[in-house]
């Protein structure tokens, strides 16, 4: 069964938190797809992942490029899985449509955005009602992840 995790951002931005979580997935030899809520956000994250660290970058592509199946990480606005990823990140209110097709589904939401909070609560309720086992992680004051539920 798919492991579904909710990550509640309270102390850092998505841009600061996402790369580290994606790197952990890649360290486990998992391919990743990141679904955004808009093309603008996809393109912004595309640029960010190349430059997020002075000593590192995340090799990736978008669903607009040739040969997405060869990429370890794909950014998309759709619910497709162009690189046969086993982990799917959903950001900015992107809606999961096929949780069963992944080993891990990760929903990240901004705790300072009321709309994202409400969407995350609705997604939690829907997925829980469907019988999925859910895990909730929240950042502490130092920005570290703590399992809350």
Q: How many domains does the chain have?
A: 1
CB 21 within 8 A of CB 7: yes
Please report, for the domain that includes residue 52, its CATH number.
3.40.50.10110
Query: What pLDDT, on a 0 to 100 scale, did the predictor assign at position 98?
Result: 82
CB 90 within 8 A of CB 21: no
pLDDT tens digits along 41-76: 999 999 999 988 888 788 899 999 889 899 999 999
Q: For CA atoms 126, 93, 141, 2, give the dihedral sign.
A: positive
Residue 142 DSSP class: T
103: confidence class by pLDDT, cuts 50, 70, 90? very high
Reported as type and span, the H/E element at residue 6 is strand 3-9
> For residue 13, what are the domain limits?
3-147
Whether 18 shows a pLDDT value over 90: the answer reads yes
The verdict on pTM exceeding 0.85 is: yes
């Amino acid at each position: 069964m798919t492991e579904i995790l909710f990550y509640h951002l309270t102390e850092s931005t998505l841009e600061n938190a996402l790369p580290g979580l994606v790197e952990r997935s890649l360290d486990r030899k998992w391919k990743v797809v990141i679904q955004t809520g808009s093309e603008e956000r996809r393109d912004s994250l595309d640029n960010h992942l190349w430059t997020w660290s002075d000593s590192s970058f995340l090799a990736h592509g978008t669903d607009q490029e040739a040969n997405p199946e060869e990429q370890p990480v794909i950014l998309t606005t759709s619910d497709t899985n162009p690189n046969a990823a086993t982990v799917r990140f959903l950001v900015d209110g992107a809606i999961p449509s096929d949780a069963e097709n992944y080993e891990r589904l990760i929903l990240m939401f901004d705790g300072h955005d009321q709309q994202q909070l409400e969407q995350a609560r609705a997604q939690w309720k829907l997925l829980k009602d469907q019988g999925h086992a859910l895990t909730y992680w929240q950042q502490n004051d130092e920005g570290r992840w703590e399992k809350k539920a």
